[in-house]
Amino acid sequence: MNKGFLIDMDGVIYGGNHLIPGADKFIEALQKRNIPFLFLTNNSQRTPRDVVNKLTGLGIEVEEDNVFTSAIATGWFLARMKPAGTAYVLGEGGLINSLHEHGYALVTQNPDFVVVGEGRNFTLEMVNHAVDMILDGAKLIATNLDPSPKTMGWTNLGIKSVVAMIEEATGVKAFSVGKPSPVMMRVARKKLGLQTGNTTIIGDTMDTDILGGIQMGYRTILTLSGVSKRADLKSYAFAPDLIVDTVGELDLDEWLEGPSSFLHGQAGMNGKLMVQN
């Protein structure tokens, strides 16, 4: 039975514009062995073509079908909730394309949904307009609830910040589609045609990748090359199955052939710490 991977990108494959050591070799190994995988990103601005172009520049050759974004998941979700519906969008690029591809019309009044994604071009006036629409009955959807990075010079607020403003102004809670939501996690798995127990998610963030994987019953691998660090684990009531410094250190054979759960604290592949969910 096939086993495969859902792979976060920023912090696992690259950091900013720099390839994380060994990430290219890991993807190459998956391709040579025909192991199914999807790059799973909460970034709703980028289209799959944008993602492919970025990876190509880092020396990783993949197809658009290897990319699954929160924008794609949002388009799928809305089409299921209300086929051929309408949306007012605070977002750009990939989100707009996905909604069109899923049969949605983008409108500036009386929408079925207000959809919030990443973007630099929407204004406070647009946010005020969205608030009025929600108070008039439109449903509030967020492509994800990623926080702002809280670093100087950042020009793109995390969606969580924008959504929090709209939620406070309307008294309405947003439904989030992206990681760790089961919506995105389940649709991505089904796209690969995998069973739950044969799906592994690799990520650098405990609050999204690892949490979402554990909630879905997937096997989980935390890389320490991004957001979450080993010292952070003490703050969580859950833990990944495996911790590696980088994805390039993963022993693919041993992981694929090993059991789906491991004893807490037992030394595993290459002496790396493996812990049980």
Cα–Cα distance for residue pair 54/14, rounded to 1 Å? 10
- Sheet of strand 113-116: strand arrangement: 105-106, 86-90, 113-116, 139-142, 175-176
Cα–Cα distance for residue pair 87/67, rounded to 1 Å? 24
Nearest partner of 209 among 231, 234, 188, 235, judged by Cα: 188
Cα–Cα distance for residue pair 29/32, rounded to 1 Å? 5
**Residues classed as catalytic:** 8, 10
Contact 68, 144 (CB under 8 A): no
Radius of gyration of the chain (CA): 19
All residues at 6 or more sequence positions from 1 whose CB lies less than 8 Å from its CB, including other chains: 195, 198
Extract the tokens encoding 227.
């957001």
